[in-house]
Structure 1
Amino acid sequence: MKRIVYFLTIFGFLLFWSSCRQDFDFAPSTGSLEFSKDTVYLDTVFTNIGSSTYNLKVYNRSDNDISIPTIGLERGQTSNYRLNVDGNPGQTFNNVEIQAKDSLFIFVETTIDIEDQTLLDNEFLYTDRINFDAGSNLQTVELVTLVKDAVFIYPDRDNTTGVIETLTLNIDGETVETEIQGRELLPSELNFTNQRPYVIYGYAAVPNGETLTIDAGARVHFHANSGLLVSENASLQVNGSLSADEELLENEVIFESDRLEPAFADVPGQWGTIWLFENSVNNVINHATIKNGTVGILSDGNTDAPLNKLTITNSQLYNFGNYGILARNSSIKAENLVVNNAGQSSVALTLGGKYNFTHSTIVNYWNNSFRQFPALLINNFVQDGEGTTFLADLTECNFNNSIIYGNDNPEFIIDEVVDSGVVFNFKFTNCLARFSDSSGNPDGVNYDFNDVTHYESFFRNQDPNFRAPFENDLLIGDDSFANGAGNSTFASQVPQDILGVSRTASPDLGAYQHITFD
C-alpha cells in the first residue's frame, strides 16, 4: 500500500511539474514560416467605413520552438491597416513566439480615407504588406483592399445628447413627428447618378411633392435599419436600362446593403425597405435589382389613384427576411418581374387593392428557416393587435402568363373573408402554379380550378425547370412546362422578356424565355 501511495505521489508531482514548465528554449526564426494565404484580400470597402476583420494563420512546422524577432506593417505607423497578433493590437510586434508544430492568428482590419489617395474611376487599390523578420530571413504577406468613393446620406446627430435626427412627415395636411431615424433629401440630392455609389444611413425621405430620379447604372447601398421613404405626393423614378450585353445588366439600378464582402452577398435582412408611403404617387421602377433587405418594397394605399401606385418592370427582388413585395390596399402593375427567396411571402397583396401581374416569375425557394406563408398571398383584410378585422375591396387581381412556384406546397393562398359584402375579384390566366394538398384541395369557391371566371388555362404542379432556383437563377430550360404555354395577347403587351429576348412568336410563361442550359 505504501508503495502505491509513493508511486501516485511521484507521478502527480511529475505531471504538475511538466504542465507548469516555462523554460522553453525559443530559437530565432530562420525564415521558414508558412502562411494560410500569401495575400489577404480585404474585399471592397467604402471610404471611411471600417472593414470586416480578416485573419491570417502563421505556422511553425519545425520541431523547434521559435521566436520571430519582428512582425510589422511595411508602412509602419502611417499604414491604414490595423493588426492584432495573438490578442495584442498594434502595427509592430517584437519577439513573437511560436512553439514547435504550433501556429498563431493575425487579424487584419482597415479604414481608409479615399480623399488622401489618387483616384481612378472613383476607386483606389490600397496595399501594404506584413513583414516577418528582416534581412535574409524576411518573409511577407501582401494586404490588398479596393476602396470606393461614395456619396453618403445620413441624419444629423446631436453632439451633446447623441440623439439621431428623426423624420418629420406631412400626412393628410398635418405635420407628424415620427420615430424613424433619417432625414429628407435636399434638392441637390434628388437625382442619384451612376458616377458614385450612394450609401444611406437611416431613412432617406423624398420630400412632399418632390421626385427622386435614379439614373441607369446607379448603385444604392443601405446600412442596417435603413431605406428609402417616398412621402405623400412624392414620387420615385428608377430609370434602369438593359445593357448591350444581355447577360451583364450593368445599366440596371441596384439596391442592396453596404456590406460588400462576398460573405454578405446573399444574406437577407441587412437593411429595411423601400417604403412607398400612403399618397405617394406615380412610382416607377424599371430594370432594377433589389436584394438582401427585410421587405423589398412596401406599398401603402391609393388603390383608386388615377395612375398605379407602383409600376415595376424588368426587375428582380431577392433575399428578404419577410417579404419581397408587401402591398396594403394598394395598386401595382408589374411586367417581367422576378421575386424569390423571402422568409414569409415573395409577394403579399393584403387588404384588397388593385393588381395586375403579367409575365412574372413569383417563386419562393427560401431554405434558411421554416416559413409560414406561400410564395403568393392574396387577402382582403387585416387585423390589428386587438383582433379587430378591417376589410377592403379587391377590385382587380390578375396574373397573366406567369409562374407561381417554390419549394413548399401550396405556393399561393387566396384568403378571403367571405360574405363580407366587399368585392373580391381575382383571375389566373395561362399560369403555372404549385398547388396540391395531400388531404384534398381546400374547400371554397376560390379553389375551384374549373371555374373559368377565376382560372383559365391554369396548370398545376408541372415542372418549370428553373436552372438554379436556390441561387436566384430563374431562367427556364428546354424541358420547362412553361415553354410555349403563354397567351399571345398578353405577350403582345410585353413583347420582350426581362433580358430583351422577343417572345411574340412563341411566348413562354414567366419573365424569361427559355434557353438551352449548358
Structure 2
Amino acid sequence: MKLNIFIASLLMAFLFITGCNRDEISFHAPSKELRFSQDTLVLDTVYNQVRSETYAVKVYNQEDKDIKIPKISLQGGSNSPYRLNVDGKSGTEFTDIPLRKKDSLFIFVEIAPIANSKEAIAEDRINFSSNQHVTLLSVVQDAEFFVKTSANPNIIAQNTTWQSNKAKIIYGDLTLAEGKTLNIEKGTKIYFSKNSGLKISKNATLNVSGDLNEEVIFRGDRNETRYDTIPVNWNSIKMEEGATANINYAKIFGGTSGLEMVKGTANVRNTQIHTFQNYGILAVNSSVTAINTVMYNCGESSFGIFKGGNIDLTHCTLTNYWSLNASMPGLALYATNEFKNASGTVEQAPLTLNIKNSIIHTSRDNAMIFKPTSGQIFTYLIDSSLLKYGNNAGFNFDGNAMIVNSIKNQDPKFLNYNLAKTNLRLANDSPAKGKAKLTYAQSIPLDIVKISRTTAPTIGAYQ
C-alpha cells in the first residue's frame, strides 16, 4: 500500500514538473505574414440596434515557431458597430496575443448597429500589426419593432399603412383588430421572431401591394441564407372568419404554415409561398383565388383545402420535393369536405375546385389527393393542366369528364427543384410548353415575371 502511494506521488510530481515546463514557452515576434480563413467577412443583414449572430475569422500561424501578435484592433475603434472576441476577451483592441506554431486562433465578430437610413453598408476592418487586415461588411436596415408583452397586447387598432422605409420586426403575435385594414406597400420586409405571427381578425383586411423585384417579404428574422430553406422560423399569417387578404407580389416562406384561413377570402397573385412545416396555404371552408402563384416544399401539402370552400387556381405551379421529414406526405394539393375542429368534432361543407393551366407535381406517386365525403358536393374541374397522378389519389384520371386536355405523369422539367437553388421555370423541352388553354391565358396576359403569354401559352406560373 505504501509503495502504491509512493508511486502515485512520483507520478503527480512528474506531471506537475512537465506541466510547468510546457507553460514556459518563448514567444517570438512574427517574421512571416499571417494567413486568414477569409480576407473579407460578410455578415448577413442586421437591423437597427439588434445584435447579430456571431461570426468567426480564423488566423493561422504558418511559422515553425511560437509567435506573439503585437496588436489586433478594429479600425473604427470604440465608435465601430462591430465588436470582437479574441482569446475569450471582448473589446475593440487586443495586444500581445500568443499563437503557437502551426496553430490557429479564432476571432469572433458581431455587430449591433444604429441605422439612420432605410438600408446602408456597415464597413470596418480588423487590423493586424503586420499591416494586414480583414474587411468586415454588413447590410444594416432601419427597423420598426412590434413587441408583445404582458403590458402590450401588440394590436394594430387603426387602419394602417406600412411603407418600405423601415423593416418590420415582430416579437410575439401582432394582431390586426377586427374590421381594420393593413396596407403593405411594395418592397416592405416583415420579419418574425420564433413563435411569432400575424393575426388578421374577423372582418379585417390585409392588402399586400408588391411588385416584381419589389416583393413584400414575410419571413423569419434570421437573415442568413441557410434559413431560406428551413421551416418553423415563425408561425403563420392567420385569418379569422370573414377576414380578407389581397396579396400581390409577395414572398412568404420559412414558417409553420403560410396563410391559415377559416371562412376567409384570399386573392393571391404573382406570389411565392414555400418552405413551411405544414401548409403553404391552409384553407378551411374558405374562398381562394390564386393566379400566377407558386407554392412548394411544405411538409403536409403546399395547398391544403378542408371543409370544402370555393377554390380557383389559374396559371399556378404547385409542387413539392419535401425531404426534411420523410414521414410527412409532401403533397402539392390536398382537398376534402371534412375538418376536425378544436373540440374534435368533424365538420363538413361542399367544395368547388377549379384548376386551370396549372402544374400539380411532386416527387411522390401522388401530387394531389381528393377525399370527398358522402352526402357532400365535391365538384372539380382540371383543365389544360399537368398532373402527377398515382394510385389512391381519390379520383380517376382516365375517362374523367372533369379532367380536360390535361397531361398525366410527365416530368414538367423544372430548371432546378433542389431545395437551396429552386428555380421552377421550365426547360425549353418541357411538355407544359405551349400547352395551356389560350382563353385562360389571355385573361392573364403576363406571367409571374411579366413575360407575355398571349401566344403559345405555357402551363404554370412561368411562361
TM-score by length of 2: 0.90
Q: Which residue, 187, 200, 203 being the options, matches 1:217?
A: 187
Q: What residue in structure 1 maps to residue 410 of structure 2?
A: 462
Q: Which residue, 157, 166, 169 being the options, matches 1:196?
A: 166
Contact 2:370 2:393 in 1 (8 A): no
Q: Which residue, 324, 332, 335 being the options, matches 1:375?
A: 332
Residue ranges of structure 1 left out of the alignment (5+ in a row): 1-9, 158-162, 167-182, 242-248, 303-308, 514-518
Q: What residue in structure 2 maps to residue 413 of structure 1?
A: 369
Report the Cα offset of residue 67 of structure 1: 1.6
For 1:386 and 1:393, the matched residues in 2 are separated by 21
Say what the alpha-carbon RMSD is for the aligned residues: 2.5
Q: How many residues align?
A: 451
Contact 1:73 1:129 in 2 (8 A): yes
Q: What residue in structure 2 maps to residue 127 of structure 1?
A: 123
Contact 2:360 2:388 in 1 (8 A): yes
Q: Which residue, 126, 132, 155 being the options, matches 1:184?
A: 155
Alignment-mate amino acid for residue 195 of structure 2: N
The question of 1:151 aligning with 2:144 is answered yes
Alignment-mate amino acid for residue 382 of structure 2: F
Q: 1:388 to 1:366 in 2, by over 3 A?
A: same
Q: 1:443 to 1:253 in 2, by over 3 A?
A: closer
Alignment-mate amino acid for residue 220 of structure 2: S
Report the Cα offset of residue 104 of structure 1: 1.1
For 1:391 and 1:265, the matched residues in 2 are separated by 36
The question of 1:35 aligning with 2:36 is answered yes
SS of equivalent residue, structure 1 residue 295: coil
SS of equivalent residue, structure 2 residue 226: helix
Contact 2:369 2:393 in 1 (8 A): no
The question of 1:83 aligning with 2:89 is answered no
Q: What residue in structure 1 maps to residue 389 of structure 2?
A: 435
Q: What residue in structure 2 maps to residue 516 of structure 1?
A: none
CA deviation string 1:131-173 (max 9, x = no partner): 333xxx4433232222111222223x3xxxxx4644xxxxxxx
Q: 1:71 to 1:502 in 2, by over 3 A?
A: closer
Q: What residue in structure 2 maps to residue 58 of structure 1?
A: 59
What are the residue-to-residue correspondences of 1:338-349 with 2, within 5 Å?
338-349=294-305
CA deviation string 1:483-516 (max 9, x = no partner): 2222223223222221222223222211111xxx
Q: What residue in structure 1 maps to residue 448 of structure 2?
A: 498
For 1:215 and 1:289, the matched residues in 2 are separated by 13
Report the Cα offset of residue 186 of structure 1: 4.7
Alignment-mate amino acid for residue 139 of structure 1: Q
For 1:499 and 1:363, the matched residues in 2 are separated by 18
TM-score by length of 1: 0.81
For 2:345 and 2:137, the matched residues in 1 are separated by 58
Q: 1:204 to 1:221 in 2, by over 3 A?
A: same
Q: What residue in structure 1 maps to residue 399 of structure 2?
A: 450
The question of 1:354 aligning with 2:283 is answered no
Contact 2:126 2:135 in 1 (8 A): yes
For 1:78 and 1:239, the matched residues in 2 are separated by 39
Contact 1:31 1:138 in 2 (8 A): no
Contact 1:374 1:409 in 2 (8 A): no
For 2:300 and 2:16, the matched residues in 1 are separated by 58
SS of equivalent residue, structure 2 residue 293: strand
Deviates more, 1:385-394 or 1:369-378: 385-394
Report the Cα offset of residue 350 of structure 1: 1.0
Q: 1:74 to 1:512 in 2, by over 3 A?
A: closer
Q: 1:399 to 1:268 in 2, by over 3 A?
A: same
Contact 1:150 1:198 in 2 (8 A): yes
Identity %: 37
Report the Cα offset of residue 234 of structure 1: 1.0
